[in-house]
Structure 1
Amino acid sequence: MTGDRLVADIGGTNSRLGLARAGQLNTASVESFRNDDFASFDDVLVRYLSDREDAQIADAVIAVAGPVHSGRARLTNRDWHFDETQLSRSLGGRPVSLLNDLAALGQASVFLGLDSLNPVVSLDESPMDEAQALVVGIGTGFNVSPVVISKGRVAQLDVEYGHICLPADIATELSARFGAHASGFTTIEEVFSGRGYAALYALEQAMTAPEPDGDTALQTRVEQEFQFFYAGLLAVLTRNLMLAFLPRRGIFFAGGVARNLLSTPAKAAFVDIVQGPFALNAVGAVPVHNILDDAAALKGCAVYAR
C-alpha cells in the first residue's frame, strides 16, 4: 500500500486522529478534538482533513470505544454511529476498517517499547516469544481483548467480559468488608471501572468515617486503606484472567483506573498477590504492564493488517 493511512481513536470524550505510513505513526500529524464540539464523527473527519488537503489517503483504520460488529460500531456513551461503507464513501471509496479501541491496543501491544510501558510485574527473562497476551481496559467501563500472535500477525477475539457475573472470590472479599451493601455489585464492570471504584470508595467513606468534619488526616488514611483493598481486588481478578487466558506474553492494563492505582504504594499489595504460586503449573509467570502511551491505539491502527 502506498500513501497515508488515516488512523483514529474515538473515545467517549475526545477523538484523536493522525496519519501513518508503512505501519509507522506520524506523530506530528496527530490532533485531538473534543467530541462535545461536534455533532458526529463525520464532522470531526471533515475538520481534520480540511487542514491536510495534501494528504494522500490510501485507507483508514478507526478505533471506537464501543462494540464493533459487521462493519458497524457505536460509542457507548454518545449517539455516534459508524459504518465502514458510509465512511468509505466519505473518503472517496478508500477502504475503511473499524476496530474496538481495546482491539487497537492489542494490535499495538506487540510493538510498544519500554518508553510506552510502565512495568508493574517484571520477569527475569523476556516472554516475547510467547504467542498470547491480554489487554485489560479499566476506565469508563471494563473489558478485555485477548491477543494471539501467529506468523507475525495479531489476531483477537471479541468479548464482553465486563458484564459477566462477579467471580465468587471477589464477591467474598466485598461481603467481608461491606456486608449486605456488597449485594449491589454483581458484575465485573460494577466493581472494576471508574464508576465502580468511585461507588466502592463512597461506601468505604460512609462506613469508615461518616462524619470526617474536615479531618484531612483521617480522610487520607481512609483513602490509602481503600487503595490497598482495591489493589488486592484487582490482583485477584488479574490472577483469574491469567488462568482464563494464559497470557504468558503479558497483561497490558489500559485506562486511568489501573494506571493511577498502581502508581500509589498500593502497588506493593497488588504485586504480592499476583506473584503468588498457582496450583496449576500451566499458568507460569506473567509480566504485567501499564500502557502509558496516549497514542498507543493510533499505533495499533497503523500496524493493523486487514
Structure 2
Amino acid sequence: MTHTALIADIGGTNTRLALAHGPELDAGSIMRFRNAEFADFEAVVAGYLPRVGTPQISGACVAAAGPVVDGVAELTNIDWVLDIPTIARAAGTDEVALLNDLQAPGHAIGRLAPEGLETILPAAAPPAPGATGLVVNVGTGFNAVPVHSTPTGRLVPASESGHVNLPIRTEADLRLSHYVDDSHGFPAVEEVLSGRGLENVYRWHCAETGAAPELRGSEIIAAAEAGRSPQAGAAVQTFLRFLGTVTGNLALEHLPFGGIYLVGGVATGLGALLKTGTFAAGFRDKGRFAGFMEDFPVTLVRDDRAPLIGCANHLHERRTA
C-alpha cells in the first residue's frame, strides 16, 4: 500500500506544502502560502488539504527555517509554535518528523534530477558511492551540514556553521571583519556569506573607495555581471573568494568525497559567476593540500524543491528502515 504523506517547507515568509507517495513527491500538489495570512501552521494545513482532495494522511515531515531542539523548531521571522504535537494535530497522523531547513536538502542529495543540478567544480574522479556529502546553504543566512550514509539510513546532523569566525588572510580582510562586526563585536561568517552579507561587503567596498552605496541584494549581482559598478564587481569577487575559502575549510573538516552541494537563493543568484575562477581559487588555496581539494566536486542545486524532496525521502526511509 502506498502511503500519502504531508510534506512542508516553512520559511520566514512563505510555507510550501505538498503530498508525497512513498519517496516520490507529487509535483502537481505543491502550493505556496504566505505565512502572514494565517494564524498558525494548523491553519495553513486546514486551507491546503481540501484543495488537494482531503486525502488520508499517513505521515508528515516538516522542514523549518530555524534550529530544531528536542522536537521544537525556533522559527525565524514568525511567532508560530512548531513542534511534533502541533504537526501531528494539523496532519491528523502520529507519524511525524521535524527537520531544520538545511537538513531537508541533505536528505535530497542523490535523489535530485540531473537537470536541477549544475557542476561548478568537477572532481578528479567520480564521487565514491556512499561517501560523505556536504550541503552548503547561502541564502538569507549561511549554514552547512554533512550528509552521512550509515547502515541504518542517512544521517544529516544539525549545525550552525554560519556563526563561526570569518577567516582572515589579508589586511583588507581584517578591515572587512571589523566593518561587519555584529552588535557583540564578533565577525561571523554569516555577516559576509548571506544575503545581508553581500550587502555588507558591497557597502564596505563603497566606504573603502568613497562611493555612495546605491544597490541592494540582487541589484549588486546584476551590476557586477553587467560591469556597471566597480564596487559591485569587487564585492562579488570578495564574496566568491570568502565562499571558496569557507567551503574549502568545511571540505577539509568533513572530507565530502560524495560531493559538495551549494543551495540557497544567493548561491543560485550567483550562477555563472561561481565559475569565474575566484570561487575555485579560494576553495583550493590550501597550501600543500591544494591538489587534494580537486577530489571534492562542487555542484549548484537549482531545483528549489530539494527541501520537499528531502522530507519525502527522509519520512519514507524512516518507515522502511
> TM-score scaled by structure 1?
0.89
- Residues 80-159 of structure 1 mapped to structure 2, 5 A cutoff: 80-151=80-151, 153-159=153-159
Conserved? CA contact 1:6–1:61, under 8 Å: yes
Matched, 1:11 2:20: no
**1:266 Cα deviation (Å)?**
6.5
Amino acid at match of 1:175: L
Matched, 1:242 2:241: no
Gaps of 5+ in 1: none
Conserved? CA contact 1:248–1:284, under 8 Å: no
For residues 242 and 140 of structure 1, do their structure 2 counterparts lie closer, same or farther at Cα, with a shift above 3 Å needed? same
Partner Cα separation in structure 1 for residue 274 and residue 93 of structure 2: 52
Counterpart residue number, 1:189: 190
Amino acid at match of 1:205: C
Conserved? CA contact 1:227–1:266, under 8 Å: no
Conserved? CA contact 1:5–1:302, under 8 Å: yes
**1:172 Cα deviation (Å)?**
5.2
- Once the two structures are superposed, residues 112-136 of structure 1 have per-residue CA deviations (whole angstroms, 9 ceiling, x without a partner) of 2321111111125320414201111
**1:93 Cα deviation (Å)?**
3.6
User: Which is worse superposed, 82-91 or 262-271?
Assistant: 262-271
SS at match of 1:279: helix
SS at match of 2:29: strand
Partner Cα separation in structure 1 for residue 205 and residue 69 of structure 2: 39
For residues 302 and 218 of structure 1, do their structure 2 counterparts lie closer, same or farther at Cα, with a shift above 3 Å needed? closer
User: Which is worse superposed, 112-121 or 256-265?
Assistant: 256-265
Conserved? CA contact 1:67–1:73, under 8 Å: yes
Counterpart residue number, 2:304: 294
- Once the two structures are superposed, residues 59-110 of structure 1 have per-residue CA deviations (whole angstroms, 9 ceiling, x without a partner) of 0011111111222113122112211123213333431111111111000012
For residues 204 and 168 of structure 1, do their structure 2 counterparts lie closer, same or farther at Cα, with a shift above 3 Å needed? closer
- Once the two structures are superposed, residues 5-28 of structure 1 have per-residue CA deviations (whole angstroms, 9 ceiling, x without a partner) of 111111111111111112000101
Percentage of pairs with the same residue: 36
Counterpart residue number, 1:273: 282
Partner Cα separation in structure 1 for residue 202 and residue 143 of structure 2: 21
Partner Cα separation in structure 1 for residue 236 and residue 230 of structure 2: 10
SS at match of 1:162: helix
- Once the two structures are superposed, residues 252-300 of structure 1 have per-residue CA deviations (whole angstroms, 9 ceiling, x without a partner) of 1111222222422763211233245653487661011111111111100
Counterpart residue number, 2:161: 161
Conserved? CA contact 1:11–1:65, under 8 Å: yes
Conserved? CA contact 2:57–2:92, under 8 Å: no
Conserved? CA contact 1:122–1:288, under 8 Å: yes
User: Which is worse superposed, 217-226 or 118-127?
Assistant: 217-226
Counterpart residue number, 1:223: 232
Amino acid at match of 2:62: I
Conserved? CA contact 2:245–2:285, under 8 Å: no
User: Which is worse superposed, 187-196 or 262-271?
Assistant: 262-271
Counterpart residue number, 1:174: 173
Conserved? CA contact 2:180–2:192, under 8 Å: no
User: Which is worse superposed, 261-270 or 12-21?
Assistant: 261-270
Amino acid at match of 1:16: R
Partner Cα separation in structure 2 for residue 15 and residue 86 of structure 1: 15
User: Which is worse superposed, 274-283 or 219-228?
Assistant: 274-283
Partner Cα separation in structure 1 for residue 77 and residue 264 of structure 2: 16
Amino acid at match of 1:242: A
> TM-score scaled by structure 2?
0.85
Partner Cα separation in structure 2 for residue 127 and residue 260 of structure 1: 26
